[in-house]
Structure 1
Amino acid sequence: MVLLRRIAPVALLAVAGFVTPATADVLRFSHTDNPGGSRQAAAELFAQKVEEYTDGRHTVRIYPAGQLANDPKAVEQLQLGGLDFTVTATGTYATHLPTLNITTMPYLVDTYEQGWEFYDNSEWLQGEFAKLPEKGMRILATWEAGFRSFTTKGELASPAEAEGHKIRVYPNDMIRWTMEALGFQTVILPIPEVYLGIQQGTVWGQENPVDTIYSLRFYEVAPHITLTRHIYSPLPLAIAESTWQELSEEDRDAIQRAAEEAAQFSRETVRAAVDRQLEEMASKGATVATPDVEPFREAAEEVYAKAREAYGEDVDKVLADVQAIRDAMPSN
């Protein structure tokens, strides 16, 4: 495997007749969103704040659209110290800490607010995140992508219409179990290959949050958008543990602050943009449908039994956390 190396410090700069230290450590940030997407916008804000809050000691160079790595490879590079930051769905990190798969159980939360409360304050989830430094990465904050829905080549009004069709998934057991429970055949594809995979007929469609569907233009090749909102899919931002250990306490605090401010920006941006994005996609030929989700919920119920078989009592700990949140923050 090729190990990506940290870019060397830049030279000293002469400013107004005197030399100012500018030996900024350039940190690499890889993600798979396109330029112009909300992830890129949050990354740009994060980079700006890192430079500001560290007084220029650290700068962040962003590599969008999978230029350096797809999501699973970016997480691997974090572990190796070849990347400094990435932001991806929780299920991607679950490859290295399988219990995180539990967070992607179908229909776990109904609203953004419920999801934010779970990711920020669930005692169970914070305990799982605390295990990740042993795996070579550390979660700084949770950014937003939204609720996963479908884009397909044909209508998908109920699970019955999924039968016999191939759907793209990423390497995550819970996502795969959910798609199979709905009747799909699953095909693993890295996200940079999904557009072409749909276009060439390798798969009939894919599932992702509206923000991702819009940013990566999946609606162009799979124009039926079905808003099942079957899985809440936010984006934890991670730093390589090797990078973290090299930072001073002052710079750790600065980068943590930047991550949290970018997370708030990400959450506000994604939630506010969904209706506009759907309208724009519809204006370009997509069909947007909001089905009765009860048949989808019922079909997905078997996934909970599979989760209990795989992860035992942790599943019920998560469900208890979520139920407490639902009781305190009802959907209606």
Structure 2
Amino acid sequence: MKNTFIKFATATAMLAAMGAAATAQTVLKFSHTDNPGGSRQAAAEVFAEKVAEYTEGRYEVRIFPSGQLANDPKAIEQLQLGGIDFTVSATGSYASHLPSLNLTAMPFLVDSYEQGWDLYDNSEWLTGEFAKLPEKGFRVLSTWEAGFRSFTTKEPLNSPADAVGEKMRVFPNDMIRWTMEAIGFQTVVMPITDVYLAIQQGTVSGQENPVDTIKSLRFYEVAPNITLTRHVYSPLPLTIAEKTWQSFSEADQAAVLQAAVESAAFSRDLVKNSVDSQLAEMVEAGATVVVPVIGPFRDAVASVYGKARDVYGAEEVDKILADAEAIRIALPAN
């Protein structure tokens, strides 16, 4: 009886171990600051599904939205430290680790989504800058979409004159800060996860982000004046910890890269085609949307290009401006 029990227990343990091995997965952490109903979450879910499919279930991408694990700057630091495996954030968020990426946030660089996609996929200068990131501890897999940055403010913003004396939230990016100050705002740096409450309490009078982010994070509820300046194109590079990337086999690297490219196509299509309906929903909820005369805003930020040349070097600035100009000529906005 004793031997029979031992054999049964051993067999049961072996079956359990076999079952565990059959279902074992490596869990990869994906952190972002968008709300669960936003486009980043939707694209992250597509990415997670594709990773599982293309690696035949060996990897599970576990998504942590709403800044649960970290705000944008901290998430990028966590990539470097190995605390998380993936994040997605505005290009300027990565500039703390490669300052030249600030130049992608120069005002009015491109005029359409198609121009922006071409810039991020084909610009010789930008491709070269992204190639420097693995030595910083992370690499770009693809570029998701967020759109063009515009304003939400408590009071109407019809021209730069309305910005004078008002406090504008910015994330830690020189180019964005210079642009806001050139328009006339006083700037206050803070994480995006703190912005809603800061506007509500009067710490700042507004913020600037793409329409998709404004809708997802409900900034229109506390700053109901939406001004569509589209002053900066602000896509979202999807990045992976270099330590995680190097842990993959070549086949798994190819699988994850394919998932990243396909989720980027999904993200671009979703965001571009959602803007009008998102604006309509916000108007229905009580927001006001205006498209101002852009000329005065363009004139106000003209000094930013000179400042960029002084800080980052005329050669670097002229390279990205030349790439952007060539794209605008090849793909004129409608």
Indicate the TM-score class for this superposition, using the shorter chain for normalisation: over 0.9
Q: Partner residue of 1:105?
A: 106
Q: Which residue of 1 aligns with 2:329?
A: 327
1:78 matched residue in structure 2? 79
Aligned position for 2:142: 141
Aligned 8 A contact 1:28 1:84 in 2: yes
SS in 2 for 1:35: coil
Corresponding residue for residue 217 of structure 1: 218
Aligned counterparts of 2:244 and 2:171: Cα–Cα separation in 1: 27
**RMSD (Å) for aligned C-alpha atoms:** 1.4
- The yes-or-no answer on 1:27 pairing with 2:28 is yes
If each structure's helix is expressed as a fraction of its own residues, which one has the higher value? 2
Do the aligned partners of residues 250 and 151 (structure 1) sit closer, same or farther apart at CA in structure 2, a change above 3 Å counting?
A: same
* Pairing 1:316–2:318 present: yes
Q: Secondary structure at the match of 1:66?
A: coil
The CA distance in 2 between the partners of 1:39 and 1:331, in whole Å, is: 25
SS at match of 1:230: strand
Look up the equivalent residue of 2:123 and give its one-letter code: S
CA distance in 2, matches of 1:190, 1:114: 29
Contact 1:13 1:21 in 2 (8 A): no
Aligned partners of 1:172 and 1:18: how far apart in 2?
50
Distance 1:217 1:19 in 2: 43
State the alpha-carbon separation in 2 of the partners of residues 144 and 13 from structure 1.
Answer: 46
Who is 1:296 aligned against? 297
The Cα of 1:212 is off from its aligned counterpart by 0.1
Partner of 1:243: 244
CA deviations 1:273-329 (Å, max 9, x no partner) are 000000000000000000011100010110000000111110000011011101101
CA distance in 2, matches of 1:46, 1:235: 14
Task: Give 1:189 shift.
Answer: 1.1
Structure 1 residue 44 and structure 2 residue 60: aligned? Answer: no
Q: Which amino acid aligns with 2:317?
A: V
One-letter identity of the residue aligned with 1:85: F
Is the contact made by 1:102 and 1:315 (CA closer than 8 Å) also made in structure 2?
Answer: yes
- Residues 1:189 and 1:18: Cα distance change in structure 2 (over 3 Å): closer
Match of 1:184 in 2: 185
Offset of residue 19 of structure 1: 6.8
Find the residue that maps to 1:320 and give its secondary structure: helix
SS class of match (2:23): coil
- Cα shift at 1:265: 0.2
Partner of 2:84: helix, strand, or coil? coil
For 2:198, the equivalent position in structure 1 comes to 197
Quick one: distance in 1 between partners of 2:267 and 2:227? 23
Alignment partners' CA distance in 1, 2:30 and 2:20: 29
Give the distance between the partners of 1:137 and 1:69, measured in 2 at CA. 16
Instruction: Tell me the residue number matched to 1:92.
Output: 93
| Paired AA for residue 304 in structure 1 | Y
Structure 2's unaligned 5+ residue stretches are: 1-13
- The separation in 2 between residues aligned to 1:13 and 1:257, in whole angstroms, is 35
Partner of 1:6: none
Counterparts of residues 269-280 of structure 1 (less than 5 Å): 269-280=270-281
TM-superposition CA deviations, 1:217-272 (whole Å, max 9, x none): 00000000000000000000000000001000000000000000000000000000
TM-score, normalisation: structure 1: 0.95
SS of the residue aligned with 1:222?
coil
How many residues in Structure 1 have an aligned counterpart in Structure 2?
Answer: 320
Q: Which residue of 2 aligns with 1:283?
A: 284
Shift of 1:23: 2.0
Q: Which residue of 2 aligns with 1:54?
A: 55
SS at match of 1:94: helix
Gaps of at least 5 residues in structure 1 are 1-11
Query: Post-superposition shift, 1:22?
Result: 2.2
| Separation in structure 2 between the aligned mates of residue 61 and residue 163 of structure 1, nearest angstrom | 44
Task: Pick the structure with greater CA Rg.
Answer: 2
Partner Cα separation in structure 1 for residue 195 and residue 20 of structure 2: 49
Deviations 1:154-177 (A, max 9, x none): 000000000000000000000000
Q: 1:299 to 1:163 in 2, by over 3 A?
A: same
- 1:13–1:22 contact (8 Å) kept in structure 2: no
**Could you tell me which amino acid in structure 2 is paired with residue 319 of structure 1?**
L
